[in-house]
């Protein structure tokens, strides 16, 4: 629970985990974002070098709308 509410029906939103169906539900999908150009990854570690934050999913259980927020 949080104080976030659905913009359509004003019900409270529930935090959800985004899951890769092709991983048979074992792998949670970690979404990240960049605010400038292309994602740049480290050749050494493969990690994203210009990550500005992560993206998390929230569900309105009343209307099934899913919203994504940067955190
Ligand atoms: Zn809703």
Say if 3 falls within a structural domain.
no
Q: What residues does 31 pair with on adjacent strands? A: 55
Report the domain count for the chain. 1
Residue 26 lies in a domain: yes
CA of residue 42 to ligand 1 center, whole Å: 40
Share of the chain above pLDDT 90, in %: 45
Between CA 70 and CA 23 the distance in angstroms is 24
Task: Give the C-alpha distances (Å, rounded to integers) separating 59 from 19, 21, 68.
Answer: 14, 18, 9
- Expressed as residue numbers, the domain containing 36 is 13-70
Residue 13 CA to residue 59 CA, distance in Å, equals: 5
Residue 38's pLDDT is 87
Model pLDDT, residue 69: 94
- Ligand 1 geometric centre to CA of 11 (Å): 6
pLDDT score, position 30 = 79
Give the global pTM: 0.73
Please give the distance, rounded to the nearest whole angstrom, from the Cα atom of residue 41 to the centre of ligand 1. Answer: 37
């Amino acid at each position: 629970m949080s104080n976030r509410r659905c913009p359509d029906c004003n019900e409270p939103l529930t935090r959800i985990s985004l899951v890769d169906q092709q991983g048979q539900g074992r792998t949670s999908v970690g979404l990240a974002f960049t605010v400038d150009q292309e994602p740049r990854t480290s050749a050494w570690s493969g990690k994203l070098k210009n990550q500005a934050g992560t993206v998390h999913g929230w569900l309105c259980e009343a209307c099934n709308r899913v919203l994504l927020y940067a955190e």
